[in-house]
């Protein structure tokens, strides 16, 4: 085996393999994941205990200088405190030596990261929704996971086994040749390994620093616009005018009949009851496992289809243009939520993002959320003020173009790549005239709302009370696109 020589062109990549552990190995895996969860809960309780103590001392009138000191949550501090407490704490006494130290380090590192995220969010240094303080992980709901960063971590030479600290040699469900050949050639170095129980199976993920040369795409000078939908998963139109349609496989809908039948079987069994402490029967556990198997199969089929789609797109085109969809808001529509979740819009964009950057070094353009790709005519550039969702054919009032709604949106997205590069292009021109601006239009049309009047006001000039009038204001102009 050649010695690993770090050099330029190396990236950090994950290789995941399904495991086939025996009964004793599965007990060891569950023990390590349980130890990580117990260490996490201990760290959360140890840090927050000082918070509650200081809050109690404030009610007693204790001066701030004399109050209990804040307990630090950095990883070295948590490790030092945990090593001192694990010998006497009844929660760990008698069994903590059964697992690797990496299991406890995993829980402490997760707790430290959780407190850091909470502090940054509270101070306004972290984007996104406001985060609350870390909470205890439930044994019933927490995902079983454990990370190994030191010790014996390798892929065995036979290509069907992996070796992890304290867990020993585990058989893999699939060959490990993709990683093994790189390690033997000296073009990859294993940094860490994570075992996780997901979708009814155990997986081992290796974080590897690997040499990856950018692959040349088939059509580097061609841009493609991708319009995602429910009826058809994607409509792709390139800069040459060619349009392709990818049908929606609807994996969840195809498995819905089996899921309903399995759910009825589960409902007839004696399940768990947390209020009375009743444990589930063996028949309920067997039926629940059968139902979960149907869910897992649908999820696996969906992941496989999305990977094949994004891999084919990024390997062919030099520029990929997608929309910045508000997926969270779309899921609030109870009529479309199931189909939108089954399509996986967010996962498609995530895969296109990292595959264009890391594998092919191509460009990905994300159109602004308010860019009217469906309302803009791909022929003349005129913009409609209103285009309801049930209208599936676009008819331009200016040039008379009649085209499918999704095809029109994909052509506009493809033209947006040229607008980003040269500043021209019909669809990317932000100064194109708007056909009409009726009341209630979107941000692109910059509609102006007027004051509402009663019937008496129309006759005699009287208007509604001031607090019921709608003031006249223009909505801000949206950005055209965002480069990634």
For residue 85, CA distances in Å to 42, 115, 138, 469 come to: 10, 20, 22, 65
- Spot the catalytic one: 227, 238, 342, 407: 227
- Spot the catalytic one: 316, 342, 406, 407: 406
Strand runs (DSSP E) across 357-456, as ranges?
Answer: 363-367, 393-395, 402-404
The strand pairing partners of 244, in sequence order, are 236
Q: Which residue has the tokens 């589960």?
A: 266
- Spot the catalytic one: 102, 238, 316, 323: 323
3-state SS, residue 69: coil
Count CB-CB contacts under 10 A for residue 164: 25
Q: Is 227 among the residues known to form the active site? A: yes
Count CB-CB contacts under 10 A for residue 175: 12
Q: Is 323 among the residues known to form the active site? A: yes
For residue 77, CA distances in Å to 82, 306, 307 come to: 9, 43, 42
The structure tokens listed for 155 are 């892929």
Q: Which residue has the tokens 């290789």?
A: 15
Q: Is 116 among the residues known to form the active site? A: no
Residues 385 and 2: their CA atoms lie apart, in Å, by: 64
The structure tokens listed for 418 are 């040229």
| Strand ranges across the sheet with 317-323 | 243-247, 232-238, 219-228, 317-323, 363-367, 481-483
CA 447, 422, 410, 481 torsion: positive or negative? negative
Task: Decide: 131 and 123 in contact? Cβ < 8 Å.
Answer: no
For residue 408, CA distances in Å to 143, 243, 415, 482 come to: 44, 10, 11, 21
Residues 416 and 484: their CA atoms lie apart, in Å, by: 14
Q: What's the maximum distance between 2 C-alpha atoms anywhere in the chain?
A: 94
List Cβ neighbours of 217 (8 Å cut-off, separation of 6 or more). Answer: 314, 315, 316, 317, 318, 360, 362
Residues with a known catalytic role: 227, 323, 406
């Amino acid at each position: 085996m050649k010695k690993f020589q770090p050099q330029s062109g190396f990236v950090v990549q994950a290789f995941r393999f399904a495991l086939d552990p025996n009964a004793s190995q599965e007990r060891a895996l569950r023990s390590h994941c349980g130890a990580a969860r117990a260490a996490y809960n201990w760290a959360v309780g140890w840090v927050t205990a000082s918070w509650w103590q200081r809050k109690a001392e404030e009610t007693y009138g204790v001066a701030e200088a004399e109050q209990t000191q804040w307990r630090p949550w950095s990883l070295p501090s948590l490790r030092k405190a945990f090593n001192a407490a694990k010998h006497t704490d009844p929660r760990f006494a008698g069994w903590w030596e059964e697992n690797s130290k990496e299991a406890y380090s995993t829980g402490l590192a997760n707790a430290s990261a959780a407190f850091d995220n909470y502090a940054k969010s509270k101070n306004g240094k972290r984007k996104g929704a406001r985060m609350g303080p870390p909470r205890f992980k439930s044994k019933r709901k927490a995902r079983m996971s454990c990370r190994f960063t030191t010790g014996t971590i390798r892929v065995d030479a036979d290509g069907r086994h992996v070796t992890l600290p304290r867990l020993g040699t585990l058989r893999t469900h699939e060959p490990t040749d993709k990683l093994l050949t790189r390690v033997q050639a000296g073009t990859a170095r294993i940094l860490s390994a994570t075992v996780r129980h997901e979708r009814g199976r155990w997986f081992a993920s290796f974080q590897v620093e690997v040499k990856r040369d950018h692959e040349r795409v088939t059509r580097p000078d061609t841009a493609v616009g991708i319009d995602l939908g429910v009826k058809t998963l994607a409509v792709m139109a390139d800069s040459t005018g060619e349009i392709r349609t990818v049908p929606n496989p609807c994996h969840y809908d195809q498995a819905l009949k089996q899921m309903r039948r399995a759910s009825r079987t589960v409902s007839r069994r004696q399940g768990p009851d947390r209020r009375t402490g009743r444990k589930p029967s063996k028949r309920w556990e067997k039926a629940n496992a059968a139902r979960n198997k149907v869910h897992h199969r649908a999820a696996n089929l969906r992941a496989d289809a999305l990977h094949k789609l994004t891999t084919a797109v990024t390997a062919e085109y030099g520029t990929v243009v997608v929309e910045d969809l508000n997926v969270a808001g779309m899921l609030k529509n109870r009529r479309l939520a199931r189909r939108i979740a089954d399509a996986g819009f967010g996962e498609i964009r995530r895969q296109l993002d990292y595959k264009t950057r890391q594998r092919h070094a191509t460009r990905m353009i994300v159109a602004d959320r308010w860019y009217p790709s469906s309302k803009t005519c791909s022929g003349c550039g005129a913009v409609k003020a209103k285009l309801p969702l049930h209208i599936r054919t676009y008819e331009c009032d200016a040039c008379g173009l009649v085209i499918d709604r999704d095809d029109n949106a994909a052509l506009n997205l493809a033209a947006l790549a040229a607008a980003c590069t040269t500043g021209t292009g019909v669809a990317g021109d932000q100064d194109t005239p708007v056909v009409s601006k009726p009341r209630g239009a979107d941000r692109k049309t910059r509609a102006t709302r007027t004051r509402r009047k009663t019937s008496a006001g129309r006759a005699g000039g009287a208007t509604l009370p001031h607090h019921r009038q709608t003031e006249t204001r223009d909505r801000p102009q949206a950005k055209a696109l965002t480069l990634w």
